[in-house]
Structure 1
């Protein structure tokens, strides 16, 4: 059994008079299965569009066309497709005088008084009119960076 083309018509397992395009089959099966709850059907674990009778499920799983794809992903049959990459030893690190752990340097704390003329600050906690006034003042004193 070959995989149907996307626009090929497929017969619904619940109602043989339903002909559905293959790419829409999963949507149709959700709707049609709700109408046929009394039937004893099971879904194939390899393909959700394969609906078979409960008694035939084991036979279908053993002969399902999707099982070839499933088993090819699990088992590696040959080593021809895997490249052999030689393991390279890491190069030894040369001694360096720098020791970043022992230096007592504090982290950078920006000083708002030293901000450049190309930065417009956004005031937090002010009323909308105060924010608008500060923004307009910043726009008037704005100087692009050089």
Structure 2
């Protein structure tokens, strides 16, 4: 049996009256599982949308259509089916510069040298002083070209 399309309606395994789109079934199952805590249903180990009665689990595990995922990996005995990717050695690049030996200070911007394209936010001032500084910054503002 093929998987239903994402928009196809499927029945909830806990309550057959619930019709849910297949793409939303995971979310619905999590909600319904909380409402049916005492049900004797368990989740299939191969597909979380397969909810079956606990007494039928052994049979379902043997016949589950999603079991091929496990079987296809389990029974590969040789390496002929696995791709082999050759790893190339990293080339060493010779360079004269050594950033570890350079002693430079960290960047400290000079706030007084900010251009007219930057409006400074004044800190530690009263609201009226901040408003005045903001209005002066807007009046002097010149966007970068």
Q: TM-score range by the shorter chain?
A: 0.5 to 0.7
Tell me the distance in 1 between the aligned counterparts of 2:99 and 2:2. 64
Aligned residues: 140
Correspondence for 1:90: 90
Tell me the distance in 1 between the aligned counterparts of 2:117 and 2:25. 61
Runs of 4+ in 1 over 6 A off after TM superposition: none
Cα deviation, residue 49, structure 1: 3.1
Cα deviation, residue 63, structure 1: 1.0
Contact 1:29–1:49 (8 Å) recurs in 2: no
Greater fraction helix: 2
Correspondence for 1:136: 135
Within-5 A mapping of 1:1-146 = 1-5=1-5, 6-7=7-8, 10=11, 18=17, 20=19, 23=22, 27=28, 30-31=31-32, 34=35, 37=38, 39-72=39-72, 74-75=73-74, 77=76, 79=80, 82=83, 84-96=84-96, 98-145=97-144
TM-score, length-scaled by structure 2: 0.68
- 3-state SS of paired residue (2:133): helix
Tell me the distance in 2 between the aligned counterparts of 1:113 and 1:36. 67
Tell me the distance in 2 between the aligned counterparts of 1:47 and 1:124. 58
Tell me the distance in 1 between the aligned counterparts of 2:64 and 2:25. 17
Unpaired segments ≥5 residues, structure 2: none
Give the structure with higher Rg (CA).
1
RMSD: 3.5
Unpaired segments ≥5 residues, structure 1: none
